[in-house]
Amino acid sequence: MTMTLHGVGASAGIGIGTAVCVREQNLDYTSVPFSGAEQEKARLRAAADLFTQRTQAMADDITNRLGEAEAAILTGQIMMLEDPFMLSQMEEAIDTGKCAEEALDTVCQTFIAMFSGVEDELMRQRAADIGDIRTRMLGILLHAESVDLAALPEGTVLVVHDLTPSMTVSLSKEHVCAILTEVGGQTSHSAILARALEVPAVLGVPGLLDAVQDGMTVAVDGTEGAALLCPDEATLAAFQARRDKWLEERALLQVYRDRDTRTADGRHVDLYANIGSVADAKAAAEAGAEGIGLFRTEFLFMDRTALPDEEEQYQAYAQVSDLMAGKEVIIRTLDVGGDKGIAYLEMEREENPFLGHRAIRYCLDRPDLYRVQLRALLRAGARHGNIKIMLPLVSGVEEVRGARALLEECKAQLSAEGLAFDPHISLGIMVETPAAALIADLLAREADFFSIGTNDLTQYTIAVDRGNAKVEKLYTCYHPAVLRSIRSVIAAGKAAGIPVGMCGEAAADPRMIPLLLAFGLDEFSVSPSSILAARKQIADWNGPDALRTAEQAMALDTAAQVSDFLAQASASL
């Protein structure tokens, strides 16, 4: 009997194959005796050394197969385990009479609970990392056999509780046609790794391992977030036809790799990439990005115990500038707070962190911290003159003026010190609050460019928590209020003669592309993996058709009507 499971569509595509369920190892250590503090500490250190050796080997392999960005997840685990604080906590637990296994488990569970309790999705990924460290370290200490994924048969639909980085090293995308997990979301490590492997994936499926048995035929739709168990012949044939079409479309996208981004009637738009690291910039360049529309610098501040100094920040910005020499690199200043907590900054817990002391508000109140970043950006800008600075969560002109004043102070300091910098560096803003959208005409007099952040703009405009499953259906960029905001912001930028881009998820949405073209958006910034598809979708539209589609869509009353209409318009091309 056919059964449909639903989760998060985290890696697009269609996969059809046979289920292989990977269940957790037996890591029971209750019978392990305590052999004395020194011996248990020696066992712990030996296990940590072996963990590091194996993990580094995995990271090297992933670098060769997938890239440095994906390998960084594993090297980050090495850094976590080698953190003196974590190891000292384990050794202190051993001093109380716990064996190495129990000491490791106790400390890891403490950190998992701590990271799992924060709102920041990226910080919650630290919990997943520590869970992976715990499992593998216990496996080493107990001499338990780990799961061998290298021997999976061709046509496997891998069914797991979670796809950990250490599991990925053995996976072959020639053998694994789809992935299903019980946990994980769009920004989880599982999603990142599945997309890097270019394997369709549905994550966060409740009760998955209870519902699926080894050997079942499973059809997975990684775009819609659905999996069919034991589909009948007719359903299977329909899925196979969709899979054939998907594979054909993916192959055809390669012709867009080195093309200029133009509409069907020849209008050029910039197609940039969103990145969070130097490794991401390499992936963006390889994917054919025409620039960087968003470099999220908060990733430089995470997974560490102290602030990165000016030289470290300079080196990161300079490397991205070098990689994209001749192309624009828009770097967002520290966007901390809200869902992005950084423990060592000791920010106070707030009742409504998304409405609290975050992003540009926090940075302007910490000029000591902010000047370090601004100086590093100015210095990196001197290399090729291609860096632009972007301010997050602006809600008023005073914030832009405050940041510009600090920037001028930094220029004066660098000049007095005889250090090279870009004196003409552009200063723009992210438009992601209703306040900024409503006064876009005023902000356009202060900013050198706009970039619309649709993720937060949608959340704030509709007053809906995008992380709350109970109101998730209300969170949509097709809401007429959001679309009107986007249109008016672009119009304000045009009237002031400044470029307007978009770096939110909507920039890669095929249903949104005709609207954004019709509104006059200058720059689309998407994830590196979405560049080729976005370039093709832009090439499919001409100006008159996009304008006609936009006029009809903007006359509709509800988000559902807009979404359905745009889906039909996109499908009819």
* Residues belonging to the active site: 189, 503
User: 171 and 197 in contact (C-beta within 8 Å)?
Assistant: yes
First to last CA, the chain: 37
Rounded Cα gap, residues 389 and 430, in angstroms? 10
**Residue from 249, 187, 328 nearest 532 by CA:** 249
Q: In DSSP terms, which residues pair with 389 in a beta bridge?
A: 331, 427
Residue whose tokens read 């966060």: 204
Rounded Cα gap, residues 527 and 276, in angstroms? 10
- Which DSSP symbol is given to 12? -
How far is residue 10 CA from its own chain's centroid? 11
Rounded Cα gap, residues 291 and 330, in angstroms? 8
**Residue from 58, 36, 48 nearest 81 by CA:** 48
Q: Give the CA distances from residue 522 to residues 147, 478, 495, 503, 516, in Å, rounded to whole numbers and listed in that order.
A: 49, 20, 13, 12, 9
- The SS3 call for residue 216 is coil
User: 348 and 335 in contact (C-beta within 8 Å)?
Assistant: no
What phi and psi, each to the nearest 5 degrees, are found at residue 3?
A: -135, 135
Q: In DSSP terms, which residues pair with 523 in a beta bridge?
A: 270, 501
User: 220 and 157 in contact (C-beta within 8 Å)?
Assistant: yes
Q: What value does the CA radius of gyration of the chain take, rounded to a whole number of Å?
A: 25
Rounded Cα gap, residues 457 and 161, in angstroms? 33
Rounded Cα gap, residues 456 and 478, in angstroms? 14
